[in-house]
Structure 1
Amino acid sequence: MTRQAITLIGGGLVGALLAQQLAKRGFQVEIFEKRPDPRRVGFTGGRSINLALAERGLQALRTAGLAEDVLQRAVMMRGRMVHPLGGTSGLQRYGVDDSEVIWSVSRGGLNMLLLDAAEAAGVKMHFGQSLVAADLHSKRIVLADENGTLHQHDAPALIGADGAGSALRAAMDDYQSLGIRVESLGHGYKELEIPPGTGSERFAIEPHALHIWPRGGYMCIALPNTEGSFTVTLFLPAHGPHPSFDTLTDAAAAASFFRQDFPDLLPLIPRFAEDYDSHPVGTLSTLYLDRWHVDGRALLIGDAAHAIVPFHGQGMNCGFEDTVVLANLLAEAGRDTGDAFAEFQRIRQPNANAIAAMALENYIEMRDSVADPHYLAKRELGARLAERAPTHFMARYRMVTFTHLPYAYAFERGRAQDILLEQLLHGSTSADDVQLDAAVTTLQATLPPLPQLRHG
């Protein structure tokens, strides 16, 4: 059976991986990307320079035959290195050992690798092509090249992987309301950089960790890059009293703030003034849609359907997981894209909503709870229960990051486990106050065993 033609809007991470997955399954795929080809002009992408790759994303890359190539260009992160103000830094592991780590990857390098893979699979690519209009009734789109010249393209099956600002989503919503809701976090971010070391020490700070400077209502984080630098991100309220981006209007004000609140970090950023004044303040929002598709004509995937805040490191991983589900559904459906699109939304939307909620919760955890004694006691008690009763307890972060358990399951199970931990601790700030044998008995009597869905 001849597979039908599929038109993809957007050649970013999710679009390129989906295109490769579909082409491998025999579909005729064309990508239209508004930016120039980054393999020829260099990567000029908008948001964060590096991203956290976890098991869900890795599994999608394994399906595409690309995981090993990507890992060769990544830096392992074992856990959170927490830098309290005036205290001693310490590592909080993500998993039980080095089999449970996440990886810092370059957004630009990964995008170019995925474009190469898509092209090798037979995908036709068109760069510098912006979507101007989509006539979903006649299944035809209008594109503009870099000179503004318009042309039409027949698109019997359209997929939008064009990110949080999706042009296809706007066109679909004009055709049929998608029930779009955008909830702003009220916080923004600005990127800075710790450069590579000049001597034998390539990394200025521990390379195999995601560094966090938690300060209650705000924080800095730093992710390692393979060449030895770190991408530093300052997260602050966008508006309001000090500290906020309203009050830190220039590098001089920001440097004064850093000297007080991040005194160990500021000396590591020699180009602080240039970075602060030249880099824009990014916005942080969560996108919710009632409908991700218009029958069999058009579908949204990745950030175009469910953009989330970055605090669980799962935006890319969720989008990559989307590609495997959708490619399999379309391969099974043949030419009936309508059923495949509807089933994709049915499967993925509850999980997208769950990871959106967990990402919002993780912001509070990262900027505040990681230094809180009661949180640390819960974390320690959870680790002891996971070691003693692994069939019944797994930290929610591990479920999200190192397994393929559905996000929606991890969200609900994590909530139930948290209630149990609170009951066992009775407000204590020490896990030693809990009798472990009795706690295990209570756990096994309270919660059913975990599903047997683990690593890759």
Structure 2
Amino acid sequence: MSTITPSSSAAPERLTVAGAGLVGSLLTLYLARRGYAVEVYERRPDPRRAGSDSGRSINLALSDRGWRALEGVGVAEAVREVAIPMYGRVMHDAHGNLSQQPYGKPGQAIYSVSRGGLNRRLLDLAEAQPGVQLHFGQQCLDINLRQRELHLRDSASGQEQHVAFRRLFGTDGAFSAVRSAMQRTDRFDYAQSYLEYGYKELTIAPTAEGGWAMEKHALHIWPRGRYMMIALPNLDGSFTCTLFFPFEGEESFAALQTPADVTAFFERVFPDAVPLMPELTDDFFHNPTASLVTVKCFPWSFDDDVVLLGDAAHAIVPFYGQGMNAGFEDCTVLDELLQRHGEDWQTIFREFQQARKPNADAVADLAVYNFVEMRDKVADPRFLLQKKIESKISAQYPDQWASLYSQVTFSHRPYAEAWANGQRQDAIMERLMRHIDAETDYDKPEVQELVQQELTRSN
């Protein structure tokens, strides 16, 4: 077993990143472009050679926070070339009837991107930077925080080694080895919670001509009360579908044991999707069923030696499309602190966790909140009417009202502030909707007066 000490020849110092996923590869780009030499250690094989992991390729919804982070290292346009804009939701009811709901103002969109494709692109860009070294197939067996040392095993050879670090950035995901080591320190708070739902990836195939079988520029949702399926477009004409479904119960993963069970269930519950899914049963039994976890912890740093970012610090469920965007925003904030404080790492890490922790907790709560909205409310005519009224209020009072979704998705407003505003606006809408039975009711003088009173009171 060998011990490797990082070289001190690079200026200003050599940094270590644990995890080469989306956040780790973007963070490496940020650090390298500030002149740091960076060693990156990743448990998995190089995805550029091994291909993407089956069952983990849920398409991601890239929105303003993520774009800002990509722009910060000059790669946004390269990513935009392989991203598909989605301007709203298309809801599919149990009879195949469609309804639509825009995401924001005309022209505003979230973008469907491939997790694997984006990760590979960021790794290529990171590896091209001077001083960056990527090490794949390196399982972290342990971390000695006091001695600043990683204990690694090479997955190909089985050889173990101890690798010294001076500054360690933990971007190794929801089940982070770096965080696990920090959990053994005094007064470290940690909580994880699982939904009773899992998810499974399925596919809607391209048409025979290679086009899209449904509206390309939309996120499709089949809301069914206790569960739902969604679909995001891919460049090849297919859609990546994700079934969010209870693990157990009368309608659950546990209840669908045979191809006949799956076919009968989908034909009954998602009848318009079945003709578009020729590989349905193969996908269902081949692709794994994954769990949905929320992780909250604190502190995110250990002295000035170690800091957590992304899912390692704040894993969330995917229902607001903000997991990647929040992790990318971590990189933006950390880079701003580097600009402000130079190499005062103690201050950088302290201010980073103080700034990001409340926002990470807020977006975790928002993600669970949006799950209920997506699976239940988007099929409710009363809810859709409320959204139309909110849109009218926003157009009439743009300086006083922006939807919660717009605040989270199309702005850089702190998540905690957006969540507080959203809760205030929900309370206002609950009172207003008692006086509204149709969209035209909004124009009645008495309703207009109520709106003005509510906005005045809330401000």
- TM-score class normalised by the smaller sequence: over 0.9
Deviation at 1:40, TM superposition (A): 2.5
CA distance in 2, matches of 1:163, 1:307: 7
Q: Render the CA deviation track for 1:116-143: whole Å, top value 9, x for unaligned.
A: 1112222221111121111111111111
Q: Is the 8 A contact 1:373 1:429 kept in 2?
A: no
Correspondent of 2:115 among 102, 107, 122:
107
Change (3 A) 1:445 1:281: same
2:182 alignment partner, SS class: helix
Q: Is the 8 A contact 1:11 1:32 kept in 2?
A: yes
Correspondent of 2:306 among 284, 298, 301:
298
Aligned to 1:222: 231
Deviation at 1:280, TM superposition (A): 1.2
Aligned to 1:451: none
1:92 pairs with 2:101: yes
Correspondent of 2:458 among 447, 451, 456:
447
Letter in 1 for 2:456: A
CA distance in 2, matches of 1:379, 1:164: 34
Aligned to 2:169: 159
1:262 pairs with 2:259: no
Correspondent of 2:367 among 345, 350, 359:
359
Q: Is the 8 A contact 2:55 2:201 kept in 1?
A: no
Aligned to 2:218: 209
Q: Render the CA deviation track for 1:180-200: whole Å, top value 9, x for unaligned.
A: 21111111111110111112x
Letter in 2 for 1:416: R
After superposition, residues 227-376 of structure 1 pair within 5 angstroms as 227-240=236-249, 242-376=250-384
1:138 pairs with 2:150: no
After superposition, residues 70-85 of structure 1 pair within 5 angstroms as 70-85=79-94
Aligned to 2:6: none
Aligned to 1:454: none
Deviation at 1:429, TM superposition (A): 4.3
Deviation at 1:297, TM superposition (A): 1.7
* CA RMSD after TM alignment: 1.6
CA distance in 2, matches of 1:204, 1:55: 28
Deviation at 1:154, TM superposition (A): 1.4
CA distance in 2, matches of 1:439, 1:59: 38
1:400 alignment partner, SS class: helix
Aligned to 1:453: none
CA distance in 1, matches of 2:206, 2:73: 32
Deviation at 1:355, TM superposition (A): 0.7
Q: Is the 8 A contact 1:49 1:106 kept in 2?
A: yes
Aligned to 1:195: 205
Q: Render the CA deviation track for 1:9-30: whole Å, top value 9, x for unaligned.
A: 0000000000101111122211
CA distance in 1, matches of 2:176, 2:366: 23
Q: Render the CA deviation track for 1:99-130: whole Å, top value 9, x for unaligned.
A: x1000001111001111111222222111112
Deviation at 1:330, TM superposition (A): 3.1
CA distance in 2, matches of 1:118, 1:443: 50
CA distance in 2, matches of 1:69, 1:219: 33
Larger mean Cα displacement after TM superposition, 432-441 or 216-225: 432-441
Aligned to 2:3: none
Deviation at 1:65, TM superposition (A): 0.4
Correspondent of 2:69 among 52, 60, 67:
60
Deviation at 1:443, TM superposition (A): 4.1
Q: Is the 8 A contact 1:176 1:294 kept in 2?
A: no
CA distance in 2, matches of 1:429, 1:315: 36
Deviation at 1:43, TM superposition (A): 2.6
The gaps in structure 1 that reach 5 residues or longer are 449-456
Correspondent of 2:134 among 125, 133, 140:
125
CA distance in 1, matches of 2:454, 2:12: 50
* Aligned pairs, number: 445
1:174 alignment partner, SS class: coil
Letter in 2 for 1:174: R
CA distance in 2, matches of 1:408, 1:47: 29
Q: Is the 8 A contact 1:388 1:440 kept in 2?
A: no
Letter in 1 for 2:324: M
Q: Is the 8 A contact 2:55 2:200 kept in 1?
A: no
Q: Is the 8 A contact 2:96 2:272 kept in 1?
A: no
- Percent identical: 44
Deviation at 1:264, TM superposition (A): 0.7
Change (3 A) 1:278 1:286: same
Q: Render the CA deviation track for 1:257-303: whole Å, top value 9, x for unaligned.
A: 11111111111100111111111111011111132111212111101
CA distance in 2, matches of 1:409, 1:132: 39
Aligned to 1:182: 192
Q: Render the CA deviation track for 1:337-373: whole Å, top value 9, x for unaligned.
A: 2221111110001111111111101001001100112
Q: Render the CA deviation track for 1:372-409: whole Å, top value 9, x for unaligned.
A: 12211210110000000000011100110000011111
Correspondent of 1:33 among 18, 21, 42:
42
Correspondent of 1:425 among 430, 433, 454:
433
Aligned to 2:412: 404
1:202 alignment partner, SS class: coil
1:289 alignment partner, SS class: strand
Q: Is the 8 A contact 1:136 1:175 kept in 2?
A: no
Q: TM-score, length-normalised on structure 2?
A: 0.94
Q: Is the 8 A contact 2:168 2:307 kept in 1?
A: yes
Change (3 A) 1:196 1:87: closer
Change (3 A) 1:406 1:316: same
Letter in 2 for 1:10: G
2:423 alignment partner, SS class: helix
Q: Is the 8 A contact 1:58 1:67 kept in 2?
A: yes
CA distance in 2, matches of 1:33, 1:333: 29
1:223 alignment partner, SS class: strand
Larger mean Cα displacement after TM superposition, 117-126 or 361-370: 117-126
